[in-house]
Structure 1
Amino acid sequence: MRNWTHHYARLNGIDVHWVEQGGVEQGGVEQGGGPLILLLHGFPHTWFSWRHQITALAGAGYRVVAPDLRGMGQTSAPEAVEEYGADRITADLCALLDHLGAESAVCSGLDFGMFAAYDLAFEHPERVRALIGLQNPFQNASDRPPLEAERRRGRKRFNHVAYFVDEPEAAIADMDAHPREILAKIFHALSGAADFTQMWRHPPGTSYRAALPEPPEFPWSWMTEWELECYVNDYARSGFGGGIRWYLALDLNWEQRRGRGKTGVPFYFLGSEADVDLAHWHGRDPVEKLPEYHADVRGVRIVPAAGHVISMESPEVVNAAFLEFLRDLDQGSAA
């Protein structure tokens, strides 16, 4: 039986839910255990996307915390787009670390979660012991607001980001009405078994649900129907509006992130050859560019298997790589 502990607290003005394993509870505050690892999910995910890593890393002696990020899962979903600015997300993470009694953590994440980890490392490097980049190697630097480029792409063909920002209410209503269908389609489309770019063959005006390819019947090799239902239950309750507001805040966050240089904390990276983000959203040869964005690159692994959701598709690969990176970090800290 997995020894997961669910927690809830009022932090930075919202109700936050997280799952923890590997800590020792003292006086109502989680303390002790090994070095803290903070795992941050993307959209449409929850803490549950780290289910394979939580137990594996805790079993290796680490204290592991996986929160539901603002707007998703069982954490509050404010309605104002400004509430999804990088400053608010960073403040959430700092408040969580304070509540945990932790000065710093090794941080990793997937898509929006990885960008949140990068924000924390830029704004509060003293709170980040190291970064483990997963699929998204850096925050793209651009001279123009990102939604301008996404809308331009969306005028030529279907683009899910343009769809979210141009028709947010329609997108939210359609996804809220079909949570199981949309989640199954997105997870499949992002996996190594599908081609996410097939959606680009659809014309502008197509809904996200209609553009996504049909998934196979369950069970999949990496997800059971019960596991899908864990996501369905959370999103049926919370709705998809919080996650979509992360997209609506992209230009706001572009403004907040302008002028940044390189991260200065120890940096490790794990990516997969079949990841759509790594292939299409970070320019040519993104792995070669890592030193341009991170001053202390210590380890890089690129694996051939799995798509974007590698933490679920190939958990053994991810767990082994994380433990390899963490051992390297611990040895360097002890030297």
Structure 2
Amino acid sequence: MAEWSHHYAPVNGLTMHYVEQGDGPLLVLCHGFPHTWFSWHRQIGALAAKGWRVVAPDMRGMGRTSAPADWRAYDCDHTVGDLLGLLDHLGEQRAVFAGLDFGVLAIYDLAYRHPERLTAIIGLENPHWPDRPEKTPLAEAAEWARTHFVHIHDFVSRDDSHAELDANPREFLARVYYALSAEYHYLDVWKHPPGTRYIDALPPAPPLPWRWLSELELEFIVADYAASGFAGGINWYRAMDLRWHQRAPFRGRRCAVPFYFIGSVHDVDLEAWHGPDPIAEIKTQYEDVRRVEMVEGAGHLMQLERSGEVTRIMGEFLDDIAGRSAVS
């Protein structure tokens, strides 16, 4: 922690906050929702010690990075522009990008549009876009929501969906982190009827500390969302259909950037949002699949739930990338 440096930079019309440690080739770690750069805090130092310049930004609308009010400012043009702008600000032509959730989906958009700016991709949990070509994601969520609660539809169907989360960020974050973990089956929230509010659909969280998260660690993330609110993060959901349309020119094409993947056995996204066999689908999406690893005993927040194993695997991936780069 003592070697982290915090920065605020003008990037693509935002004030972007990021944390940096180390020297060497650039590795950018991109988080999802409702996370912040801090979800990578157990990996940053270890990967920097392997000879990498590690940068973990707060993504658009979350943490200490600016949160535009207009949901259309969360489309592919803007989120890809953020990553390009960060590279330019850091003075780097290219980087290894690693990410999870919305963060890794933004990386995939960058890889299709500007493959020359990526050395490799390390994807966690989300192996490819979850888009169905025949139906927009918000239309699909609305269809599911006719029979049961769906968090995506809850977020986008009410203008004030962020208000109750803003009122008690600690309770929401504790509940959703527990629900996303291997200790709970997240899809049990679908047992609630249509119209249920997200906070009510989530299970009560057991008292901290947990096996994989301390009270102080949660407080770091609570403090950021208490300051920013959740509207920016929810705008990523509101823009899902817009991003779906913007991805149309690339749908059906395989990504050429070297690809590495880590999934967890209990991840809800792999269970519900990436088709019947998402791991098998990887080779139809990428031309150069280097390694695929699955982690036991973790849910969606794998880099916290199984920190040591995830860090070890990422380190092995980076060794492979560095070795191949040296040969080439």
Q: Does the alignment reach a TM-score above 0.5?
A: yes
| Aligned-residue identity in percent | 51
Contact 1:16 1:67 (8 Å CA) reproduced: yes
Which secondary structure does the structure 2 equivalent of 1:168 belong to?
coil
- Following superposition, the deviation at residue 9 of structure 1 comes to 1.1
1:255 is aligned to 2:265: no
Residues 55-113 of structure 1, C-alpha deviation per residue, up to 9 Å, x if partnerless?
Answer: 11001111100000110000000011110001101101111100100111100111000
Instruction: Choose which of 106, 118, 136 in structure 2 pairs with 1:128.
Output: 118
- Following superposition, the deviation at residue 10 of structure 1 comes to 1.3
1:6 is aligned to 2:6: yes
Q: Distance in 2 between matches of 1:292 and 1:66?
A: 29
Q: Distance in 1 between matches of 2:201 and 2:297?
A: 25
Matches within 5 A, 1:1-335: 1-22=1-22, 33-141=23-131, 142-169=133-160, 171-260=161-250, 261-335=253-327
Q: Distance in 2 between matches of 1:284 and 1:195?
A: 18
Which secondary structure does the structure 2 equivalent of 1:188 belong to?
helix
Q: Distance in 2 between matches of 1:118 and 1:236?
A: 30
Q: Distance in 1 between matches of 2:117 and 2:2?
A: 28
Q: Distance in 1 between matches of 2:297 and 2:179?
A: 15
Q: Which structure 2 segments of 5+ residues have no match? A: none
Q: Distance in 2 between matches of 1:36 and 1:232?
A: 28
Letter in 2 for 1:291: K
Letter in 2 for 1:242: G
Q: Distance in 2 between matches of 1:222 and 1:304?
A: 14
Which secondary structure does the structure 2 equivalent of 1:20 belong to?
strand
- Following superposition, the deviation at residue 284 of structure 1 comes to 1.1
Taking structure 2 as the reference length, the TM-score comes to: 0.97
Q: Distance in 2 between matches of 1:137 and 1:10?
A: 30
Q: Distance in 2 between matches of 1:138 and 1:297?
A: 12
- Following superposition, the deviation at residue 259 of structure 1 comes to 2.6
Q: Distance in 1 between matches of 2:9 and 2:245?
A: 30
- Following superposition, the deviation at residue 140 of structure 1 comes to 2.7
Q: Distance in 1 between matches of 2:77 and 2:247?
A: 10
Structure 1 moving runs of 4+ over 3 Å: none
How many residue pairs align between the two structures?
324
Q: Which structure 1 segments of 5+ residues have no match? A: 23-32
